[in-house]
Chain A
Amino acid sequence: MSNERKPLPIVEVLNLRKRYRSTEALRGISFSIGKGEIVGFLGPNGAGKSTTLRILSGLVAADSGEAKVCGVDLAEEEGEVREHIGYLAENNPLPEDFRVIEYLKYRASLKGLKGSRKRERIKSVLEICDLERQISEKRIGNLSKGFRQRVGIADSLLAEPRLIILDEPTIGLDPRQSAITRKMMERLRGEVSFILSSHILSEVEACCDRMIILSHGQIVAEGTLLELQKKFIQSVAFEIVSKAKKIELQRSVRRIDPQCELLQDDPVEITGRRRFTFNCTKGQETVELILRTLLESNNFEISEFQVCRPDLETIFLKATKQNWQEMDLLGRGKNKIFKPQN
């Protein structure tokens, strides 16, 4: 048995449940987030993402279950937990009458920052969020959505929290402003843990270490992109650019994996090279074996070989599809009970 101590997770959630009247928003979810991790929270609308984030921020109380932030139980020491958290709410509501600098000073005071530390932190977050002097003197009501979002992020960073919760931080932002937000997260990677809830899958794919996919208040998938790819996409698609004849190439490939299917073949150049797309159900190792065999035979003049990795969107749809079907069946079952008998 190893004596090595595991670092305490920043977030520990165990069997968390929440119900809003007749709707069960969370059905006993459990997960943990380590120090410095950037975790993406994904899920269709109404999946329970915002509810989970609001519970972790201390804005909503859970019905049952346990949630700990930095080892502190939310149910017991809600105030202390808030000291460790920076929270950017969905739609980022801000008071419009205030200048950026005034607002940050006010928020810093609320978060217990005083004197030189308060000044230092405000200066630091203005720099991190690229809110130069001219912007900091402007009224929040006169700022563009991108700058308002940066003010919200600056606020969440003020008290040097150990966990930052960003609920849809890049919604409505242009690609440049989204990139700035990602850059800010990259800058803090390793120091601060992030929970990022977003519908923009490419963004989550680009900056998150791990993803948690929720559907109907349940976690339907959890892991790194590679783990999710392995879990949900059993077949591997690969592309070969070659001068070989279709039938010969197909025969050679099928000698290794008889189920390997040719999905597509397109001409790529006038030189006669073609791009062949295959689908292998036996996984990455078989694909590697196919490549080695084709290269060794020297008959195929392979100029390009590429494994097509399924993107997060494909994984997301696969992960949530099963849950949707299950819930749909449950729903139908319920309806049957209440159907009037003729």
Chain B
Amino acid sequence: MRFELFALFVSPATYVASFYFLALLGVGFRFFIESFVLTDWILPPLASLVVGLIFGAPALIPFLTMRSFAEERRLGTLETLMSAPVSNLGIVLGKWTASYLFFIFITIASFCFPLIISLWFPEQSHSLGFDRVEQWIGTLIFLLIFGASFSAVGIFASSVTNNQMVAGMLTFTLLTLYLSVMMFYFGENIDSQFTNGPTQVVWSCLGAVFGGLNKMQYFSVGIIDIPTVLYQFVVTFYFLILASTQIDQVKK
């Protein structure tokens, strides 16, 4: 994992992507805060940061994950790595943890924007609700669980090709698709659409995954929706297992 983190830190692409991402997020956040009173935004202002990070993820995550397996496959170092006494899942977990830690680093960096406002403008910060710890914790957990599943999607995309660009584009496509589906179901109660036996079970599971964005309203006020956390864990685990299986295919 340390090796992977090091690889991310020495890669100029990661720095450039992180810098532009944080800069754009900062500018967006500033304008949102300025015009907040004029909007009909019903969530706490801190949730805008979550929206920025979640919808910016398809542009950010590829830079963190595309290199991981694609580059190793291209250089042939994956073979060297696999000759060490480490399991495939161990390798996948190492790479995922590194990119996830980088995502956490960017998330924490983005939280500096409201923190700066809280420190320099306490009155405005109070009126915007930045002094409510539960909102900070809720939004942070929401970002962490979605960051985990997004990174897992990126790691999987990187494991299927030996071309970084293809891996990056595949990550972008998969995440955009995932967000589009979530947006499609945003505000709808999927569980109540089907009420019969097994169909309801399947739909309630899919609904929990696709309706993940719906739960932002809970997290942003500090209510932790455990099923959402669990479902994102399932998505993360699923894509990591897929990546591990994909690496295993190299052996055949």
Mark A residues whose CB is within 8 Å of B: 57-61, 79-80, 82-83, 85, 87, 89, 91, 93-98, 102, 106-107, 109-112, 155
Select one of A80, A87, A91, A95 contacting B83, CB under 8 A: A87
Q: Shortest Cβ distance from A50 into chain B, in angstroms?
A: 11
Number of residues in B with C-beta < 8 Å to the partner? 20
Q: How far is the CB of B82 from chain A (nearest CB, A)?
A: 6
Among B79, B80, B252, max chain A CB count under 10 A is at: B80
In contact, A89 and B85 (Cβ under 8 angstroms): no
Encode contact with A along B211-252: 1 for CB under 8 Å, 0 otherwise: 000000000000000000000000000000000000000111
Name B78's closest neighbour in chain A (CB-CB).
Answer: A93
Asked if A60 and B84 make an inter-chain contact with CB atoms under 8 angstroms apart, the answer reads: no
Indicate if B28 sits at the interface (CB-CB under 8 A): no
Tally the A-B contacts, defined by beta carbons under 8 Å. Answer: 55
Residues of chain B with a CB closer than 8 A to A89's CB: 76, 79-80, 83
Contact across chains for B75 and A95 when beta carbons are under 8 A apart:
yes
Question: Is B87 positioned at the interface, with any CB of A under 8 Å from its CB?
Answer: yes
Residues of B within 8 A of A80 (CB): 85
The 9 closest A-B pairs by CB, nearest first: A93-B76, A82-B85, A87-B83, A110-B84, A83-B85, A93-B77, A106-B3, A89-B79, A93-B75
Question: Interface residues, chain B, CB within 8 Å of chain A?
Answer: 2-3, 6-7, 10, 75-77, 79-87, 250-252
How many Å lie between the Cα of A155 and that of B81 in the bound state? 11
Q: A60-B251, A89-B76, A93-B75 are in contact. Are A106 and B2 (CB under 8 A)?
A: yes
B7 contact set on A, CB distance < 8 A = 95, 97
Of B10, B80, B84, B87, chain A has the most CB atoms within 10 Å of the CB of B84
B6 contacts which chain A residues (CB < 8 A)? Answer: 98, 102
Cα distance, A96 to B251, chains bound together (Å)? 24
**Cross-chain contact A61 with B252 (CB below 8 angstroms):** yes
Which B residues touch A82, using CB under 8 A? 83-85
For the complex, what is the distance from the CA of A199 to the CA of B87, rounded to whole Å? 32
Chain A residues near B84 (CB-CB < 8 A): 82, 107, 110-111
Known: A93-B79, A94-B77. A112 touches B85 (CB 8 A): yes
Sample 24 A-B pairs with CB under 8 A, ordered by A number: A58-B83, A59-B82, A59-B83, A60-B252, A61-B251, A61-B252, A79-B85, A79-B87, A80-B85, A82-B83, A82-B84, A82-B85, A87-B83, A89-B76, A89-B80, A93-B77, A93-B80, A95-B7, A95-B75, A97-B7, A98-B6, A107-B84, A109-B2, A112-B85
Residues on the A chain within 8 Å of B83, using CB: 57-59, 82, 85, 87, 89
Residue of A59, A89, A95, A97 ringed by the most chain B CB atoms within 10 A: A95
